[in-house]
Amino acid sequence: MSTNSLASTTRATMEACGVTASLDAGSLTVVSPLTGEAVASLATHSADDAKAMIRTAKQAFRQWRLVPAPRRGELVRLFGEELRKSKEDLGRMVSIEAGKSPSEGLGEVQEMIDICDFAVGLSRQLYGLTIATERPGHRMMETWHPLGVVGIITAFNFPCAPWAWNSALALVCGDPVIWKPSEKTPLTALACQAVLERALARFGEDAPEGLSQVLVGGPELGEALVTSEAVALISATGSTRMGRIVGPKVAERFGRSILELGGNNAGIVCPSADLDMTLRAVAFGAMGTAGQRCTTTRRLFVHESIYDQIVPALKKAYASVSVGNPLETNALVGPLIDKAAFDGMVEALNEAKEAGGTVHGGERQDVGPDTAYYVKPAIVEMPSQTGPVTRETFAPILYVMKYSDFDEAIEQHNDVGGGLSSSIFTTDLREMETFLSARGSDCGIANVNIGTSGAEIGGAFGGEKETGGGRESGSDAWRAYMRRATNTINYSRELPLAQGVSFDI
Ligand code: NAD
């Protein structure tokens, strides 16, 4: 596919989703990592536009919070239907903007559909507790109310699913949303918004204007959401660097935040592991999406007794993996997002060599134009967990280390800043349960005999430490989008005070 046809495919796909905005209008050039060339240029919003959107959203909140939750769920049900109709188109936009394979692009859209289904059910299950009270003739209960405007900031590598994880829940919880997508992937955001607008048109008058809005532009627009007192919750997905700026700013104004930041995810391969399964799980976890998932496997601790079986097999898989444009070929590994990502990978590999590592792979691949950055995934045998191993480099680098003592492997596993995802490969019950116990993995996601990436929407998604502590998607993550009131009702003719306090007047 030539650049021209990529640009025209982009236009046709955006149009099919219902986007009416001009794709030649402005200063934000959208580059496809598949070829490194421009596919559109968009007009950006200003700080004043952001303020106006926040005002509109605040107004929308006053109306939306009064619509019964199951009726709000109906909007999300319709959104799920519209997503199903546009699955192919949205998946293609994810591939064009983020460089993902068609199967990964479609998988991301499927996550949006899945969270809609989840949220529709949730709209009838926003349960509060009834709590035993110490006072006779009283009843105590919790009520969950809509929270307010939700600002959603997202990263380039998942251009749409994290928005849906947040917005599907926020909408059933009674909250309007304003989305600031990555400046690298605004087209997918506009396409998703157009699909939601189709659902809104079918839903009818209960939905106020400005229930869902998109801010196109850079970090300064994220900043406008972060610093606005009118934005009750900021859900920010991106680097730990971004979270270090955003988190304190939201906290300073006593706003609420969900931070979904970087990870430095690891697997431990134990002597009893099923080696064939482990090999496939690690290969996908480490090389899938060209190492550009927050849950990508970046470190591997392999027991010394099986090191000489698994590491050569991994090296072989790395050497033979296909790299290329996933829209034109069957390549399993697509491009890095841009030159900065490639430079970061080169720097990390150089540092690893200086720290005594042996690098296999990592070379730039001549499979696209000069403006695109395709690399052979790298596997690096390290003598210990030092240098670049302790940080997230957003590229396909897997650092492999040998261990002899299981407890020491867990110590090392936890001895990094990131706390997102983790895996153990074992058929030993004691090792497995220890890994999942309080003295095991300190991550928000701990898996057994599957890789670190590829979470399902039914579970709460997020991680600890420098990953930010936020949870979104399934389980009880919805609570972050609502405020809880504890209500005590006295249906007696007495006024007993709590804790037996007397105050007779
Ligand atoms: P990034 O931090 O550069 O940008 C993410 C978003 O934050 C963008 O929309 C950007 O405009 C915005 N932003 C940046 N600085 C800001 C500021 N000061 N105020 C407000 N907004 C600001 O991240 P990226 O390069 O797009 O994405 C890759 C990173 O995201 C990796 O570290 C990856 O691990 C992480 N990530 C985490 C998760 C998760 O769920 N934990 C999911 C996907 C990606």
State the pLDDT at residue 5: 85
Whether residue 385 is found in the same domain as residue 472: no
Inside any domain, residue 324: yes
Q: What is the pLDDT of residues 12-31, one digit of tens each?
A: 999 999 999 899 988 999 99
Q: What is the pLDDT of residues 290-338, one digit of tens each?
A: 999 999 999 999 999 999 999 999 999 999 999 999 999 999 999 999 9
Whether residue 332 is found in the same domain as residue 430: yes
Q: Where does residue 174 fall: left (phi above 0), alpha (psi -120 to 50 degrees), or beta otherwise?
A: left
Q: Is the C-beta atom of 242 inside 6 A of ligand 1?
A: yes
Whether residue 270 is found in the same domain as residue 227: no
- Report how far ligand 1's centroid is from the alpha carbon of 500 (Å): 52
Residue 87 has pLDDT above 60, yes or no: yes
Of these residues, 104, 197, 260, 381, which one is catalytic? 260
Q: Quote the CA–CA distance of 76 and 91 in Å, as a whole number.
A: 19
Q: What is the CB neighbour count within 10 angstroms for residue 72?
A: 27
Whether residue 406 is found in the same domain as residue 356: yes
Inside any domain, residue 376: yes
Encoding tokens for residue 376? 């052979």
- Report how far ligand 1's centroid is from the alpha carbon of 342 (Å): 17
CATH number assigned to the domain comprising residue 158: 3.40.605.10
Residue 417 has pLDDT above 60, yes or no: yes
Residue 396 has pLDDT above 90, yes or no: yes
Residue nearest to atom 8 of ligand 1 (CA): 182
Q: Is the C-beta atom of 218 inside 6 A of ligand 1?
A: yes
Side-chain half-sphere CA neighbours of 482 within 13 A: 24
Inside any domain, residue 449: yes
- Report how far ligand 1's centroid is from the alpha carbon of 432 (Å): 33
Q: Is the C-beta atom of 443 inside 6 A of ligand 1?
A: no
Parent domain of 209: 6-261+468-486
Q: Is the C-beta atom of 221 inside 6 A of ligand 1?
A: no
Whether residue 272 is found in the same domain as residue 336: yes
ipTM of predicted complex: 0.99
State the pLDDT at residue 336: 98
Residue nearest to atom 26 of ligand 1 (CA): 155
Q: What is the percent of the chain where pLDDT is above 90?
A: 97
Whether residue 383 is found in the same domain as residue 475: no
8 Å CB contact between 191 and 90: yes
Residue nearest to atom 16 of ligand 1 (CA): 219
Whether residue 60 is found in the same domain as residue 183: yes
- Report how far ligand 1's centroid is from the alpha carbon of 110 (Å): 22
CA distances from 399 to 282, 356, 404, 435 (A): 12, 12, 17, 20
Q: Is the C-beta atom of 163 inside 6 A of ligand 1?
A: no
Inside any domain, residue 501: no
State the pLDDT at residue 3: 47
Whether residue 289 is found in the same domain as residue 220: no
Residue nearest to atom 43 of ligand 1 (CA): 294
- Into how many domains does the chain fold? 2
Per the annotation, the verdict on 260 as an active-site residue is yes
Inside any domain, residue 256: yes
Q: Is the C-beta atom of 156 inside 6 A of ligand 1?
A: yes
Q: Is the C-beta atom of 239 inside 6 A of ligand 1?
A: yes
- Report how far ligand 1's centroid is from the alpha carbon of 225 (Å): 15
Closest CA to 315 of 302, 324, 325: 302
Average of per-residue pLDDT across 35-54: 97
What phi and psi, each to the nearest 5 degrees, are found at residue 493?
A: -100, 5
Inside any domain, residue 494: no
